[in-house]
A and B are shown apart, each in its own frame.
Chain A
Amino acid sequence: MPSRLLPRLNLPGLLTLVIVVLAWELAIRGGSVQYEYLPAPSAIAVGMAELIRSGQLAADTLHTLRSVLLGWTAAMVIGVTLGLWLGSSPLVRRYSLATIEMLRPMPGIAFVPVALLLFGFSLETELMVIILPALWPVLINTMGGVMGIHARLFEVGRTFRLPRGEIIRKLLLPAALPAILVGARISMTLALVLAVVAEMVGNPNGLGYAIVREQQALQPEKMFADVVAIGVLGIVLNSALVSAVAAFFPAASGRLREAG
């Protein structure tokens, strides 16, 4: 959607970016910055080109993208299911909310050593580290969305004698959708952060590991190129989600943008 993106590409903003990059380049070339491992932007571009040519960047990006999507999808399925259940039953809520509040603030990275014990250096480790923390925003938002549904909607369902599956599919899900999508977006951002973390210390693959690999190989140009690639991946994932929501659920997209 160029019409929505264009006003954000402001001229002073772009100019600032150019000036910052130029100043950085000049500072390195002129020797006024004395960091041994701080490459100039041009060197980073060369490193990026090398990574692209060797196919390394594509392979690393693909791995990270796949892990993020797998983990995020699993988190969505589990989170929405549990969220619907908790949202529609006060009894279940009463006997589990404190457990959720206890587990939710657990920092995702703390699962890395446990996952390593269970699965070793593998994709399973990475997925466990992604799914467990990425679950909560979806669960909490779905639950909140269902709890916000007007009681009359349930009565309508009962009047029409809709079976349970129909009530969930035709009443609960559509009504809670805007809230679920907000959770989905937060969860997506979280999944990328956790994928990078997991790749650094749990699963030696993907862009997260690439950064550590280039750091240990003392290849700062390639390391910076990988960092930029992760930033771009994050922006692409986020705008892909927002555009997908705008295309498929236009009614729910307003709140999503507000939440951004």
Chain B
Amino acid sequence: MRRLFDNLRLLRTSLPPIRGLLPLVLLLVIWQMLQSGPSPYFPAPDQWWMAGLRLFHRNDLIGAFEATTLTFLGGLLLAILIGTAVGILIGVSAFAACALGPLLEFMRAIPPPATVPVFVLLIGYNETMKLTVVTLSALWPILLNTTAAARGIDPLLLDVARSFRLTTWDRIRRIIAPAVIPALLLGIRVALPLAIVVALLVEMLTSLPGIGAMMIRSQRNFQSAEVYALLVLVGLFGFVVNDVFAVIESIILRRWPPRTATTS
């Protein structure tokens, strides 16, 4: 119970003071006063709210939101699982890290959105494609960070583990996890926005159900208020994802603090 309280306090102190929202609030108020009705370009903020409610009642806003969120979370989870496992396997072997290095670096250099049409063509317009694309875009930062961290483990530590005849589980828990986890979190932090962008992009390009497709449809129908409403929704989504991850990160980092000495 005390722990939970501590974590909540951590969240509060990690957020800047609420009065800092003043510029945003002022902008919205001035906007509302200057343009109080509908407009093809700058509809008033209260119109956004009404358009949002309309989408909620008439169209399937919840369904679209769910589709996008599930793709995002599923892809991220797969990327974390694959990236951590493969990253450690590559990282603990000096030869594998050396041999696969250039290949991985080139894969990382390709902006993930560029691969979306490739997978549309290879896999087709379906949910598997969506999940594959999101997973792959989130994979590289996680994989490369994990590899670098696993590579940075002092070989002496692994020798020590062998001398003490530690079981595989103990070796992972005591030596690999503390070295890899901070880097893994950093990789996930980079992967989060990429995964959101790519999930929305797939929907925009292919019109598979989701918030991205809904945004493009509203824009094509010149429903400007709907477009702004969805922009706010996506912005809030990004904000919540970012903050939830920050809390998870700080909780995990308290258990496994980053060790600056081993980073290379």
Contacts and interface: CB of A to CB of B under 8 A. Distances in A.
Whether chain B is bound by chain A comes out as yes
Interface of A: 8-10, 12-17, 20, 35, 37-38, 93-114, 116-118, 192-193, 196-197, 200-201, 207-208, 211-212, 214-215, 218, 220, 223-224, 226-228, 230-232, 234-235, 238
Contacts of A238: 109
Given A35-B122, A117-B224, A227-B118, A17 B102 contact: yes
A231 B110 contact: yes
Interface in B111-156: 111-118, 120-122
B111 A200 contact: no
Contacts of A15: 99
Given A14-B102, A110-B230, A231-B110, 13 more contacts: A13-B103, A17-B103, A95-B20, A99-B20, A106-B235, A107-B196, A109-B200, A109-B212, A113-B227, A113-B230, A197-B197, A200-B116, A227-B114
A98 B212 CA distance: 26
B32 interface: no
A193 B99 contact: no
A200 B197 CA distance: 13
Contacts of A20: 103
Contacts of B40: 117
Q: Would you call the interface of chain B mostly helix, strand, loop, or mixed?
A: helix
Contacts of B228: 114
Contact of B201 (A13, A109, A207): A109
B41 A118 contact: yes
Contacts of A38: 122
Interface of B: 15-24, 40-41, 95, 98-103, 106, 109-118, 120-122, 193-194, 196-197, 200-201, 204-205, 212, 215-216, 218-219, 222, 224, 227-228, 230-231, 234-235, 238-239, 241-242
B200 A230 contact: no
Contacts of B19: 94-95, 98
Contacts of B194: 193
Main secondary structure of the interface of A (DSSP, over half): helix
A97 B21 CA distance: 7
B187 to A, nearest CB: 14
Interface centre among B103, B111, B205 (most CB of A within 10 A): B111
A240 to B, nearest CB: 13
A190 B20 CA distance: 26
A231 B118 CA distance: 14
Contact of A95 (B22, B109, B230): B22
A48 to B, nearest CB: 15
A19 to B, nearest CB: 9
Contacts of B100: 13, 16
A200 B219 contact: no
B99 A105 contact: no
27 contacts: A10-B101, A17-B102, A95-B20, A95-B22, A97-B16, A99-B22, A99-B23, A105-B241, A108-B197, A109-B204, A110-B235, A112-B215, A113-B231, A192-B111, A193-B111, A197-B113, A201-B216, A211-B114, A211-B117, A220-B118, A227-B110, A227-B114, A228-B110, A230-B111, A234-B109, A234-B110, A235-B106
Contacts of A220: 118, 121
A112 B219 CA distance: 9
A117 B102 CA distance: 42
Contacts of A106: 231, 234-235, 238-239
B22 A107 contact: no
B99 A101 contact: no
Contacts of B193: 105, 107
B106 A112 contact: no
A193 B110 CA distance: 9
A226 B23 CA distance: 42
A204 to B, nearest CB: 13
A101 to B, nearest CB: 6
B21 A99 contact: yes
A194 to B, nearest CB: 8
A34 to B, nearest CB: 11
A8 B40 CA distance: 54
A231 B106 contact: yes
Given A94-B19, A112-B204, A223 B121 contact: yes
B20 A96 contact: yes
A235 B109 contact: yes
A34 B89 CA distance: 29
Contacts of B18: 98
A110 B234 contact: yes
A235 B108 CA distance: 10
